């Protein structure tokens, strides 16, 4: 019997860390087996700034996911975001020695490796090299070059670049948590896999993922990724503004935002007031909901305007680059009341809220299909694509009763895990040879294997 392909995604956010275990059911939909969520400590604006706290948060989320699912996590696909991410457009070509030979996967690998040699700013590293359109001997708009003939193979690329130290810190946290890193994905790309349909990507769409510390943007047109950006503002900045503007503590500010907040100040009447308990015997505070909405509105307008500047930089005003499907909002910030109407008002583009339920199995928990979990669902989908066996079923005796046992299961299960890992290279090679027809998947996977190996090598040498 064929082994189940159990996939694990780890979303290291600024406000929460989510570990999600899933597999594909017989209908090709994603069945979530377990979710673990912990408060994210040690991450600011998508970047790790305290390794010890981040490791503890990761372990807590991983343990909860394991207890919920009955599976032991071995490796994860992790999302990369943060203010250090930038993207560039680049074109490159190779001249083939024998034009009479069919173009194969190695030609594309050669072209991609050439792009990897691009000179970057000091301390920067290439995370993704995403081919857009290929050209063969001057013939443009070639979507699938494998199987064609030609001497000069050319392509335009969307290159995503990030700070090497930030990426390695994430790798270090995961390894120190007792799990392996099987892949890296840019978070807006993971979110787009989870909430966008192929039709929207064809028509042209901007995905805006409003997280706690950052707002991520991914633009698609003709089914191809055209632009990505990370803006270093998110829901936390709104909470800070409420805290300062109303002179209350952060916990109360967050609750106010979630329960009573609105992005549209005109919705609240002047006499709508919320009373907040005072600190240590002090008088309770009365806060006008109209003022609360004004504070939220000012910051949301700033975030959306920055995102819209990026959309304009891509060239949305050009009729050929027009984003017909408009904007899709996702992430925790998309749950704010009236945000859809405000975004439509500022940008003049059709807007909808993106839920990751399109790819989820029908019996999925209601909470998982919230925009909050879009990135985590996308990362699990990415892990399934990698065909890795990321988690193994625990024996009944090993399922920990108490949360305090974390290390023991790993020690007990080690012989079994070794055996799994030993079998894996053959399986991965098999997948590579069979799936030659899908250039994009092959490119993404072959590059990630090299990149993850590079990070592992760095971490081993550092020790």
Q: Which pLDDT score is estimated for 72?
A: 92
Read off the pLDDT of residues 277-318 as tens digits, 9 standing for 90 and up: 888 888 888 999 999 999 999 999 999 999 999 999 998 889
CA distance linking residue 91 with residue 80, whole number of Å: 24
Stated pTM of the model:
0.82
What is the mean predicted confidence (pLDDT) over 200-211? 95
Rounded percentage of the chain residues whose pLDDT exceeds 70: 85
Question: Are 50 and 116 in contact, with CB atoms under 8 Å apart?
Answer: no
Q: How confident is the model at residue 446 (pLDDT cuts 50, 70, 90)?
A: low
Domains present along the chain, CATH in parentheses:
7-83+166-194+359-364+376-462 (3.30.420.40), 86-164 (3.30.1490.110), 196-233+304-356 (3.30.420.40), 235-297 (3.30.420.40)
What is the mean predicted confidence (pLDDT) over 255-274? 87
Considering only residues 440 and 56, tell me which one the structure prediction assigns the higher pLDDT.
56
Res. 410: pLDDT tops 70: no
Q: At what angle do helices 250-260 and 235-246 cross, to 10 degrees?
A: 110
Residue found under tokens 């819209």: 308
Q: Which pLDDT score is estimated for 282?
A: 85
Least confident of 180-189, 304-313, 413-422: 413-422
What is the mean predicted confidence (pLDDT) over 10-35? 92
**Distance between first and last Cα of the chain:** 40
φ, ψ at 77 (rounded to 5°) = -95, 125
What is the mean predicted confidence (pLDDT) over 388-410? 56
Q: How confident is the model at residue 395 (pLDDT cuts 50, 70, 90)?
A: low
Rounded percentage of the chain residues whose pLDDT exceeds 90: 60
CA distance linking residue 390 with residue 21, whole number of Å: 9
φ, ψ at 151 (rounded to 5°) = -95, -35
Q: How confident is the model at residue 416 (pLDDT cuts 50, 70, 90)?
A: very low
218's tokens? 């991914």
Q: Which pLDDT score is estimated for 434?
A: 36
CA distance linking residue 297 with residue 295, whole number of Å: 6
Q: Which pLDDT score is estimated for 2?
A: 52
Beta bridge partners of 35: 20
Q: How far is CA 406 from CA 23, 41, 180, in A?
A: 24, 19, 16
Res. 340: pLDDT tops 90: yes
Question: Are 392 and 409 in contact, with CB atoms under 8 Å apart?
Answer: no
What is the mean predicted confidence (pLDDT) over 375-395? 86
What is the mean predicted confidence (pLDDT) over 39-46? 89
Res. 325: pLDDT tops 80: yes
Q: Which pLDDT score is estimated for 316?
A: 87
What is the mean predicted confidence (pLDDT) over 210-217? 93
Beta bridge partners of 205: 220
Least confident of 280-289, 397-406, 417-426: 417-426
CA distance linking residue 443 with residue 76, whole number of Å: 20
Q: Which pLDDT score is estimated for 357?
A: 87
Where does 162-285 have alpha helices with state H? 164-176, 187-195, 198-203, 235-246, 250-260
Q: Which pLDDT score is estimated for 193?
A: 93
CB proximity list for 162: less than 8 A, separation 6 or greater = 80, 82, 84, 85, 86, 124, 125, 127
Q: Which pLDDT score is estimated for 443?
A: 54
What is the mean predicted confidence (pLDDT) over 120-137? 90
CA distance linking residue 262 with residue 258, whole number of Å: 9
Res. 167: pLDDT tops 50: yes
Q: Which pLDDT score is estimated for 306?
A: 95
What is the mean predicted confidence (pLDDT) over 268-278? 84
Considering only residues 428 and 336, tell me which one the structure prediction assigns the higher pLDDT.
336
Question: Are 190 and 9 in contact, with CB atoms under 8 Å apart?
Answer: yes
Q: Which pLDDT score is estimated for 208?
A: 96
What is the mean predicted confidence (pLDDT) over 392-416? 49
CA distance linking residue 376 with residue 382, whole number of Å: 10
What is the mean predicted confidence (pLDDT) over 235-254? 93
Query: How high is the mean pLDDT of the chain?
Result: 85
Question: Are 256 and 274 in contact, with CB atoms under 8 Å apart?
Answer: yes
What is the mean predicted confidence (pLDDT) over 166-190? 92
Q: Which pLDDT score is estimated for 142?
A: 87
Res. 450: pLDDT tops 80: no
Read off the pLDDT of residues 84-96 as tens digits, 9 standing for 90 and up: 888 999 999 999 9
Beta bridge partners of 129: 159
What is the mean predicted confidence (pLDDT) over 146-158? 92
CA angle 90, 92, 98 (to 5 degrees): 165
Q: How far is CA 139 from CA 109, 130, 143, in A?
A: 20, 20, 11
H/E segment holding residue 381: helix 374-385
Considering only residues 75 and 461, tell me which one the structure prediction assigns the higher pLDDT.
75
What is the mean predicted confidence (pLDDT) over 365-371? 87
E strand spans, 242-326: 273-276, 285-288
Res. 454: pLDDT tops 90: no
Res. 339: pLDDT tops 60: yes
Residue found under tokens 């803006």: 231
């Amino acid at each position: 019997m064929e082994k189940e392909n159990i996939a694990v995604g780890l979303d290291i956010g600024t406000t929460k860390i989510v570990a999600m275990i899933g597999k594909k059911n017989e209908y090709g939909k994603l069945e979530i087996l377990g979710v673990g969520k912990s408060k994210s400590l040690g991450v600011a604006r998508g970047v790790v700034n305290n390794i010890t706290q981040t490791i503890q948060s990761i372990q807590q989320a991983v343990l909860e996911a394991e207890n919920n699912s009955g599976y032991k996590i071995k490796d994860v696909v992790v999302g990369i975001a943060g203010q250090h991410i930038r993207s560039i457009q680049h074109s490159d070509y190779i001249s083939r020695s024998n034009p009479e030979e069919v173009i194969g996967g190695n030609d594309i690998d050669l072209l991609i490796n050439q792009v990897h040699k691009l000179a970057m700013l000091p301390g920067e590293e290439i995370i993704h090299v995403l081919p857009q359109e290929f050209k063969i001997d001057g013939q443009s708009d070639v979507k699938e070059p494998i199987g064609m003939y030609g001497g000069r193979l050319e392509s335009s690329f969307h290159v995503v670049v990030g700070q090497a130290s930030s990426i390695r810190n994430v790798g270090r946290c995961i390894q120190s948590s007792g799990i392996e890193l099987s892949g890296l994905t840019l978070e807006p790309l993971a979110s787009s896999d989870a909430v966008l349909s192929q039709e929207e990507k064809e028509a042209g769409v901007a995905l805006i993922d409003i997280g706690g510390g950052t707002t991520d943007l991914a633009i698609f047109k003709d089914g191809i990724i055209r632009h990505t950006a990370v803006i270093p503002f998110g829901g936390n900045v709104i909470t800070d503004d409420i805290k300062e503007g109303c002179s209350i503590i952060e916990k109360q500010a967050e609750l106010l935002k979630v329960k009573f907040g609105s992005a549209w100040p005109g919705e609240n009447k002047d006499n709508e007031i919320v009373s907040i308990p005072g600190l240590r015997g002090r008088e309770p505070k009365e806060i006008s909901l109209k003022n609360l909405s004004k504070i939220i509105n000012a910051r949301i307008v700033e975030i959306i305007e920055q995102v819209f500047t990026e959309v304009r930089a891509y060239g949305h005003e050009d009729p050929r680059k027009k984003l017909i499907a408009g904007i899709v909002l996702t992430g925790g910030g998309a749950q704010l009341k009236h945000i859809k109407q405000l975004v439509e008002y500022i940008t003049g583009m059709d807007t909808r809220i993106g839920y990751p339920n399109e790819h989820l199995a029908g019996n999925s928990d209601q909470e998982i299909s919230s925009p909050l979990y879009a990135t985590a669902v996308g990362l699990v989908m990415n892990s399934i694509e990698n065909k890795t066996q990321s988690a193994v079923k625990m024996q009944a005796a090993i399922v920990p009763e108490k949360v305090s046992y974390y290390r023991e299961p790993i020690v007990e299960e080690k012989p079994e895990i070794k055996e799994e890992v030993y079998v894996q290279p053959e399986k991965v090679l098999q997948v590579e040879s069979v799936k030659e027809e899908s250039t994009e998947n092959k490119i993404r996977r072959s590059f990630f294997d090299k990149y993850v190996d590079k990070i592992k090598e760095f971490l081993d040498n550092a020790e």
